[in-house]
Amino acid sequence: MSANTPPRLSVPVSLEFFPPKTDEQRDTLEKALPTLKALQPDYVSVTFGAGGSTLSYTPDTVCHLREQHGLDAAPHLSCMGGTRAEIRSLLQLYRDKGCRRIVALRGDLPSGMASYGDFRYASDLVGFIRAETGDYFHVEVAGYPEIHPQSDDAQADLANFKRKVDAGADGVITQYFYNPDAYFRFVDDARRLGVQVPIVPGIMPITNYSQLRRFSELCGAEIPRWVARRLQSFGDDAEAIREFGIDVVSGLCRRLIEGGAPALHFYTLNRARATVAIVERLRG
């Protein structure tokens, strides 16, 4: 380690990006990458648009990050609307590019798309990946400490989660949350059911309240009332929102690490500032 390299956290960090589609988005990601790379992420992952809407952008971005930036980039692969043949050829493409890790998801049915395709649930996709490629890929799946938004039965959701891990997952990345107890309870419940794989909390930095509220409504993440009230009170003061967000999220991360979280997975939204500030705060 050189004198200028900041110390690493006590747990590994991974970073999630979405695949840029426009020159402007590509530019934003390119500008963020040097600072994010300095965090020495264990790996980075690239999301996959619902119903294949980023069919070429995801592999292109994965290849770019691997080849031009030397990052261990892993694709997300969602099966909703996809056929076995499409998934098979993506698996082959990622093998050819040297990827050893995949984040396997069901995805959501985009409006206007009538058919689920060849797979109904993420557990079907995980089973297919194992049947097609054996142990070649390290497969991550999604977990929901605050319950999947389409599930009206928390126990059934947990049983479905276990079924997905049993189909052959090596690890879990959770949906974001701001209540650490939801994560600790989820891990305890999963362990009680016999799930042994690492469960890594997904961390969403807070930078923009209206965007966060929109995302949270869609994915079922709860913004604690006191956090929402404080964010509302800042109005358009972006700097105050940013400072408060760094405080809240670095406090959350500290509690997660102290409570035994094996790593942190940051939803960067292709921007560096908030994620880097949180990690620096944790190091300080």
Note the residues at the interface with ligand FAD (CB under 6 A).
Answer: 47-48, 50, 76, 78, 103, 105-108, 121-123, 142, 148, 150-151, 157, 160, 163-164, 173, 175, 202
Return the sign of the alpha-carbon dihedral for residues 127, 131, 132, 136.
Answer: positive
Find the shortest distance in angstroms from Cβ 140 to ligand FAD.
Answer: 7
Instruction: Identify whether the C-beta of residue 73 lies closer than 8 Å to the C-beta of residue 99.
Output: yes
CB 21 within 8 A of CB 57: yes
Q: Do residues 125 and 84 make contact, with C-beta atoms less than 8 angstroms apart? A: no
- List the alpha helices (DSSP H) in 199-262: 209-219, 225-233, 238-258
**Token pair belonging to 242:** 């940013």
What is the nearest approach in angstroms of ligand FAD to the Cβ of residue 123? Answer: 6
Return left, alpha or beta for 162; rule: phi > 0 is left, psi -120 to 50 is alpha, else beta.
alpha
Q: How far is the CB of 233 from ligand FAD (least distance, A)?
A: 29
Residue 80 or 278: the one with the smaller Cβ distance to ligand FAD is 80
Which of residues 119 and 244 has its CB atom nearest to ligand FAD in the complex? 119
The CA-to-CA distance between both ends of the chain, in Å, stands at 18
Residue 50 or 206 having the CB closest to ligand FAD:
50
Q: Is 16 a catalytic residue?
A: yes
| Nearer to ligand FAD (CB atom), residue 7 or residue 194 | 194
Q: Per DSSP, what are the bridge partners of residue 140?
A: 103, 171
Spot the catalytic one: 16, 140, 222, 243. 16
CB–CB of 253/12 below 8 Å? no
Q: How far is the CB of 48 from ligand FAD (least distance, A)?
A: 4
What positions carry a catalytic annotation?
16
